[in-house]
Amino acid sequence: MATLSIYVPDQEPFAVDLAGIEQLSVGRGPENDVVLDHISLSGSHAVIQNNDGVYQVTDLGSTNGTFANGEQVTEVTLSEGLQIAFGSVQAVFSEGAEAASGALDADTGVPAEAGGGESFTHGDPPAVADVSSVPVGFKNLSPIEKVEKKDTLGQIAVIVGVVAILAAVTLVALSAVMKAA
């Protein structure tokens, strides 16, 4: 029985039985088959496909990536003990009947039953991206232009200049009124 044991940080681990499932979507969005509430996951992060008992994970262009044994991948065929990271969420594929036990290695953050982390060369879970990358060819269709922050010192200089001009105009007008009187 194929199982994916999932270890979401600060949550109880759980196992997903993959037997008989043709396709399984993984992500933070509610439309996914497996919803993982963690900031490091994209709304639609990855999909797991079953091709006659051969399971394959495909990253769906997620911001924080999908990793197999520490290497970033776009597609990978699952094999016994393969450690997968969806962003910072760890998972281990098993073809046996084992379920998630919850024990994580203190040094690597990887499930302890996955061989103590020997095959996990990455060492640390992937870091959460600071910014999202914009897809190639992306165009902003918003009718509102992006407002850039102004330089505070420049704004003060402009205000002082406007006040000086208004003062000069007032003095000229006052001078003209006094001459006329």
Using a cut of 0.75, tell me whether the model's pTM lies above it: no
Asked if residue 17 lies in contact with residue 70, where contact means CB atoms within 8 angstroms, the answer is: no
Say how far apart CA 164 and CA 156 lie, in whole Å: 12
pLDDT values of the chain reduced to their tens digit, one per residue, 181 residues: 789 999 988 888 899 998 888 999 999 999 999 999 899 999 999 999 999 889 999 999 999 999 999 999 999 999 999 999 999 999 999 987 544 444 555 454 555 544 444 433 444 555 555 665 666 676 767 777 777 777 788 889 999 999 999 999 999 999 999 988 7
Longest Cα–Cα distance in the chain = 105
User: 26 has which bridge partners?
Assistant: 34, 46
Specify the DSSP class assigned to residue 9.
T
